[in-house]
Chains A and B, each alone.
Chain A
Amino acid sequence: MQREFIRNFSIVAHIDHGKSTLADQLLLRTQAISDREFQEQILDDLEVERERGITVKARAVAIYYDYPGPSTDAQLPAGTAPPPPGRYELNLIDTPGHVDFHYEVSRSLAACEGALLLVDAFQGVQAQTVANAYAAIEGNLEIIPVVNKIDLPVTRIDEVLNEVETILGLDAATALRVSAKQGLNIEDVLRAIVERVPAPRGDSAAPLKALVFDSKYDDYRGVVTYVRVKEGRLAKGDRIRFMKGATTHEITDLGQFRPHMTPCESLGVGQVGYIITGIKALGNVHVGDTVTHAGRQAAEPLPGYKQPKPMVFCGMYPIDATDFENLREELEKMSLNDASFTFAPETSDALGFGFRCGFLGMLHMEIIQQRLEKEADVDLIQTAPNVTYEILKRGGSLVQIDNPVDTPDPGEIEEFREPIAKVTFIVPSKNIGTIMQLCEDRRGTYKSTEYMGPDRAQLIYELPLAEIIYDMHDKLKSATQGYGTMDYDVIGFRESDLVKLDILVKGTRVDALSTIVYRGFAERRGRALVKKLKEEIPKHQFEVALQAAIGAKVIARETISALRKNVTAKCYGGDISRKRKLLQKQKEGKKRMKQFGQVEIPQKAFLSVLDAGNDD
């Protein structure tokens, strides 16, 4: 395929603004999929993500569009001649739509020359629209605004277009209006892609440079690596080198997704496809890496490579200690499919042998947890998540703390640092005060406010990541009746006055319940936490004291009174089955508890740290 006839583009959107539906329509219109397949959302591979309506793993699909030539109202870039009619290869590169995957989004966009910015005709510009649009603007992409769902009974198209102009600085006059669901004006989208997205540039005679923008694990073929050729040519049988990974492999197979894997002989400048090299572990392929030839190497790798770092951690422990190895196998399986998920063995006094797992963010964690629940036959206890911390020790060494228990003694700490995120809120104007208060209460630093029209505004704050993972999203939703959205990006570490808060159950510290908190919040958090634990831990035959402490100083206390009465009054003919099942269920629930000394602590209690955030 000549590069003049190639267009590479992404669709960026806020969740639920119709990205998958539009993608499917484009595939349907170009006969890449059948009507029946259209019914299923084929761009999302993993069931978990389909349920959440979030495309987490990028995927690239090549479609072929017969461009008839410009229409009368074609909006061609100034000073350019219309592209010639003919068959075009359009590569749709799907991007993860969520906050935890900023880096992956940026690499997918780096494989494109253009992006469709999809905005819901009623909901308008939302936090992720902004985040993704900025990422596309930073990547110098040609952006085509598309207002979707114009068939809705109530739309606010003019306001939405105004938002696109004021917040994103895009020319709203060039926006397309479609209904992906009804298949309305889809042809306009295809035509605009050909006319407005620049053809890829690059020297096909230069040494090979191909961008790795995604990878996935296939049970039969090993790692499938997604690449976009920037310069040179990539062919079957080539010996290639990953420049950052510094490994050399032979290409055993390559091809394109149309949308199913379709082998071909080679990929030229501008083309997008997959390579298979016999690599078995996803961890050995790095998104953002550059593929070159082992023999004739490129002088410089492509810019923008980063090693994504897990920012959120939690402990995962098998309830039955004999399941430890099973759990390890399951976690290995997860990491095969997801290179940004990490895990390492650790030991807890309370929970025994388990693993400390690292995630890019909260959503990433929830996805992995759900997949484990669904796919793994291991009963788990999860501890509440924490962010990663940096501690500068007296003597100058810098340590990373992924588990609060590992916090050194206060005497050894020179500087305690925590991750800070830049948070973008888009909220109804009338809620600005509430959201600002919410951020101030969570140690936020105000950055800016921008009005998007009479009713909505964009608010930017810098907030400690730890404050965001507690309950920021829930609080935002309830403060704005569901209309507010947020997006965040970790921008670095900053010194803060942090302390380790311990929980003592019946006089003994339960290490899995320790947390790191801001000193000014310690008392409030401690009180809320023991109160919450009191609700979660069932009554025992004896009184159970719950204490929150910083070092040796107890700052909050609750007592669970002893179990006094628990007996079913009636058990006659009709009651027997029901009663048996009820007690059986209760007993099953007990299995999910962890015996800690004389006290049984249910799994849920280990997550109370999270719920006990700020309510009192």
Chain B
Amino acid sequence: MSRSESPRAVEPAIAPWGPPRAAYVHVPFCRHRCGYCDFTLIAGRDDLIDRYLDALALEIERELPGPVEVDTLFFGGGTPSHLSPDQLARLFGIVGSRISLVPEGECSIEANPLDLDNERLAALVQAGVNRVSIGVQSFQPGELRLLERDHTGIEARDAVRRVRRAIPNVGVDLIFGTPGQSLADWSASLEACLALEPAHVSTYGLTFEKGTSFWSRRERGALRQSPEDLEREMYELAMEQLPAAGVPQYEISNFARPGFECRHNETYWDARSCWAFGPGAASYLGGVRRQNHRSTTTWIARTLTREVAPPALVEELSPEDRAREAAMLGLRRTRGIDSAAFERRFGAAPRSLAGAAFERLVSAGWLEESSGWLRLTREGRCVADTVLMEFLSPL
């Protein structure tokens, strides 16, 4: 096909990214780096926390000359709950000095099951945190050991129950596809999770990321990745079991009771603006994505010396690529994309972005369009990357 057929998005009059109504703060500290994890984090360097907080204060002051108001605020990691109660109080103080949450706003924090003692919980409540996402990962002892988690299933259960008494909106993160995990094991973890009646569940298929110890162990043959068929069955099981228990799916890896979807993360999938602070954090402002240096020590050093250092990434996409990226993100949501609204916002109809592949994806049963919404089918969610790829470049 000729190249002239590829869609040319024209920049609409109103900026598609909108004003920033969300802020993300990255807290990189962990007690231990788990073998599968490739996030921006630093383990065993609690001595850096105070300097990190100094740097964070400077960065927020520098980026936000005046107070701003947001609908959502998210403390991610690393492990934000790894900070001491005093450090947590200081963290919230620094952030709160410039960023305030609207009434009914969402303030999330990621936490490790063992961290949330009463003192820390009190600090969270005090600061207005109203959503906690707990990294449970599994309830099976063998899997927890392999994943190098420092808690047991029982401890995780207790943590969820205890946190919920203070902060009702609790989410549980689970991992499937751990080497050696059976479908029955996964089902048992899902059951154990549902028994806790969480407001939100994330199920992440284990990914072997370059640079992790899991990756090199797999390369050496010391770790065997789950068979693709089994991973698919596990994913399908989650897509059956969770909605059946009243926790419907709303994104590829996310399930929530109605009204408890993570609004902060929806900002990303909706391609809207977001502030971001801390090492490795990526902001999206005025259509420009900017990612901070991923090394915690470098980020601290540069920020403290007020050095105007080049970010790890500065990216301003063309209107066409912005539309393609928005389609990639929007289709992750179970409800899909409102085609007409998308075209108004991004200047290109979503189906036109996939070009000739569109019909093929529909007839493959991976993509469906009904009453103006374009979405992945359940089959399509299992092979989402294969489908989304077609939206990312003209053929």
Which positions in A face B, CB cutoff 8 Å? Answer: 322, 541, 561, 563-574, 576-577, 579-580, 583-584, 586-588, 590-591
Contacts and interface: CB of A to CB of B under 8 A. Distances in A.
Contacts of B205: 565, 567, 569
Given A565-B205, A566-B384, A573-B276, A590 B389 contact: yes
Interface in B293-331: 313, 315, 321, 324-325, 328-329
B328 A565 contact: no
Given A573-B284, A577-B315, A587-B390, A567 B40 contact: no
Given A576-B282, A576-B329, A577-B313, A568 B232 contact: no
A572 B390 CA distance: 20
> Across chains A and B, which 9 residue pairs bring their CB atoms closest together, nearest first?
A565-B232, A569-B204, A567-B384, A587-B393, A564-B232, A574-B282, A583-B389, A564-B228, A584-B392
Given A322-B2, A580-B328, A587-B390, A573 B282 contact: yes
Contact of B24 (A561, A573, A579): A573
Contacts of B229: 561, 564-565
B231 interface: yes
Interface string B368-394: 000000000000011111101110110
A567 B385 CA distance: 5
B281 A573 contact: yes
Interface in B227-280: 228-229, 231-232, 235, 252-253, 265, 268-269, 274, 276, 280
Interface residues of B, number: 49
Given A570-B253, A583-B388, A577 B207 contact: no
Interface of B: 2, 24, 40, 76, 204-207, 228-229, 231-232, 235, 252-253, 265, 268-269, 274, 276, 280-284, 289, 291, 313, 315, 321, 324-325, 328-329, 332, 364, 366, 381-386, 388-390, 392-393, 395
Given A565-B383, A577-B291, A571 B390 contact: no
A452 B32 CA distance: 62
A574 B280 contact: yes
Given A569-B207, A577-B315, A587 B268 contact: no
A567 B381 contact: yes
B325 A580 contact: yes
A538 to B, nearest CB: 9
Contacts of B268: 571-573, 576
A457 B381 CA distance: 63
User: Interface majority SS on B: helix, strand, loop or mixed?
Assistant: mixed
B218 to A, nearest CB: 17
Contacts, number: 105
Contact of A587 (B232, B291, B389): B389
A323 to B, nearest CB: 12
A95 B273 CA distance: 65
B231 A565 contact: yes
B19 to A, nearest CB: 17
Given A566-B383, A580-B392, 14 more contacts: A541-B364, A541-B366, A566-B386, A567-B205, A567-B381, A568-B252, A568-B384, A569-B204, A569-B252, A570-B207, A572-B268, A576-B289, A576-B329, A580-B324
Nearest to B292: A574
Most buried by A among B76, B328, B389: B389
Given A577-B315, A580-B325, A588-B393, A567 B282 contact: no
Contacts of B321: 580
A573 B274 contact: yes
B199 to A, nearest CB: 19
Contacts of B390: 587
A421 B235 CA distance: 58
Contacts of A563: 383, 386
A322 B206 CA distance: 43
A83 B76 CA distance: 87
Contacts of B384: 566-568
Contacts of A569: 204-207, 252-253
Given A574-B282, A583-B392, A567 B329 contact: no
Contacts of B315: 577
A276 B382 CA distance: 67
Nearest to B271: A576
Contacts of B392: 580, 583-584, 587
Nearest to B253: A569
B29 to A, nearest CB: 17
Nearest to A574: B282
Contacts of A579: 328
A330 B257 CA distance: 62
13 contacts: A541-B366, A563-B383, A565-B228, A567-B205, A567-B252, A568-B207, A569-B205, A572-B265, A572-B268, A576-B282, A577-B289, A583-B328, A584-B393
B389 A576 contact: no
A424 B276 CA distance: 67
Contacts of A565: 205, 228-229, 231-232, 235, 382-383
A574 B291 CA distance: 7
A294 B383 CA distance: 74
A577 B292 CA distance: 13
A573 B204 CA distance: 16
A270 B329 CA distance: 75
A400 B287 CA distance: 62
A587 B325 CA distance: 13
A75 to B, nearest CB: 60
A590 B395 CA distance: 9
Contacts of A587: 389-390, 392-393, 395
B24 A567 contact: no
A496 to B, nearest CB: 42
A569 B268 CA distance: 14
A567 B282 CA distance: 22
Nearest to A588: B393
Contacts of A591: 393, 395
